[in-house]
Amino acid sequence: MEIKRTQYLNQLVKKMHNGRVKIITGVRRCGKSYLLFNLFCTYLRQNGVGDEQIIELALDEIGNSKYRNPFELDSYIRQKMTDKSIHYYVMIDEIQFVSEVQNPYVSDSSAKVGFADVILGLMKIKNADIYITGSNSKMLSSDVLTQFRDRGDEIRVYPLSYAEFSSAYTGKPQNAWREYVTYGGMPLILSLDTHEEKSKYLKDLFTKTYIKDVVERHDIRNGTEVIEDLLNIVSSSIGSLTNPNKLSNTFASEKQLHITSETIETYLGYFVDAFLLRQSLRYDVKGKKYLKTPLKYYFTDIGLRNARLNFRQQEEGHIMENILYNDLIRRGYDVDVGVVEYNTRNEDKKIRKQLEVDFIINRGNQRYYIQSALSVSDSEKQKQETESLLHIPDSFKKIVVVKDNIEPLYDENGILYIGVEQFLLEGTALLD
């Protein structure tokens, strides 16, 4: 089964021969290697690139362990590029496996040679086009990206979007949404049949990969239980406003543990760096400023979140909000949580109210406001979901995304109502 990840393939194609290293990043097991070695290589071959022009190396394979030495890696690749009249495509998977070694040509014992030296040297070869991936407990994707700074282009890969998932889903089409909101979009999920298999796979990703990576990378010896509990708490509160102080108080009241807000903020940062979580800041629409706290955290993959809670907490509203957030981020939009303040009166008393806008989306000089709602089946629910939108003092497009499949329609205030599946499948066109 081939999953066509057209968005990422197009990004790679667009960046070909631009003189920069292409760095494919993303949460572990989201399909980075598949994109590079399967989809991109197939594209090259279909467009006339010969096998001798493609230099592939997966450094996590034991047969390639020799090339974890930077000098051996550099020598191997250069020996493959013998013809200066043709382009070579150098693809190195799991670049972090390259060790730092002593530079044998200088006396300074602190002088080391590592993968960055190899890649930067290869970039100077005019007919070489370089592509790399990398992430594990030793070095995350974000660390690899940092090594090259302004000399690298990031292609960020996400778990499958709903559009990608549904296009490859082999079950009954009407079941695709239910499967996606339960098990998410990690690519291997599509090849597993039973709940037990899917549940075990997702839980193992946490315990054997993600948590292990963070603990080993940051040498956390006594805080493993805290990290586990923190992930459970954040999993339970997706779509809810929170902050490190609030989470610290939760530990004190529910776990009888004193964990400082600084420690919690640090641990959350570790999972953001590992691309497991993403934080969304609040933006004051009328005041035109960011509010430091509270904010929201979303999981990169909703199936991972559900597995973390043993599939117990299936709040459809928050799950749908998380999925919408991921899809908007994947499309390259800047996404914030919005707040609208306004004055009203109650029994001759002036009251200042705060209303939440689920998402403020910016793209260049365009802006969109989106509310995620399970239903607007009656006038009371419609009023509740649109009140914040009606208090926004500008004319940018406003959208309410609902769970049900409905015919898209505009109300008398110009607000668009659309079903979530149609929005996820056709959302780009709607925001044009």
What does DSSP say about strands 366-373 and 349-363: parallel, antiparallel, or unpaired? Answer: antiparallel
pLDDT value at position 432?
58
pLDDT digits (tens, 9 = 90+) for 13-68: 999 999 999 999 999 999 999 999 999 999 999 999 999 999 999 999 999 999 99
Inside any domain, residue 1: no
From 156, 173, 189, give the residue that closes a domain: 156
Average pLDDT over all residues of the chain: 92
Average pLDDT (5-9) is 96
For the cut 70, the answer to whether the pLDDT of residue 290 exceeds it is yes
Lowest mean pLDDT among 165-169, 226-230, 249-253, 427-431: 427-431
Place of tokens 């667009």: 14
Inside any domain, residue 42: yes
The token duo for 15 is: 């960046």
pLDDT digits (tens, 9 = 90+) for 155-213: 999 999 999 999 999 999 999 999 999 999 999 999 999 999 999 999 999 989 999 88
Nearest 10 degrees: Cα torsion 125, 126, 129, 133: 30
Buried b (16+ CB within 10 A) or exposed e, 69-91: bbebbbeebeeebeeeeeebbbb
Shared domain check, 124 and 176: no
Read off the amino acid at residue 18. N
Distance of alpha carbon 290 from alpha carbon 336, whole angstroms = 9
Q: DSSP character for 320?
A: H
Inside any domain, residue 210: yes
CA 346 to chain centre: 44
Inside any domain, residue 138: yes
pLDDT value at position 174?
92
For the cut 70, the answer to whether the pLDDT of residue 324 exceeds it is yes
Shared domain check, 426 and 405: yes
Average pLDDT (362-386) is 91
From 156, 179, 205, give the residue that closes a domain: 156
Would you call 274 helix, strand, or coil by DSSP?
A: coil
Q: Could you list the residue range(s) of the whole structural domain that residue 257 is in?
A: 159-432
Inside any domain, residue 181: yes
From 122, 156, 190, give the residue that closes a domain: 156
For the cut 90, the answer to whether the pLDDT of residue 223 exceeds it is no
Shared domain check, 204 and 77: no
Shared domain check, 140 and 166: no
For the cut 80, the answer to whether the pLDDT of residue 107 exceeds it is yes
In the chain, the number of structural domains is 2
The token duo for 236 is: 């339970």
pLDDT digits (tens, 9 = 90+) for 67-96: 999 999 999 999 999 999 999 999 999 998
Distance of alpha carbon 156 from alpha carbon 150, whole angstroms = 16
Shared domain check, 219 and 95: no
CATH number reported for the structural domain that contains residue 114 in this entry: 3.40.50.300
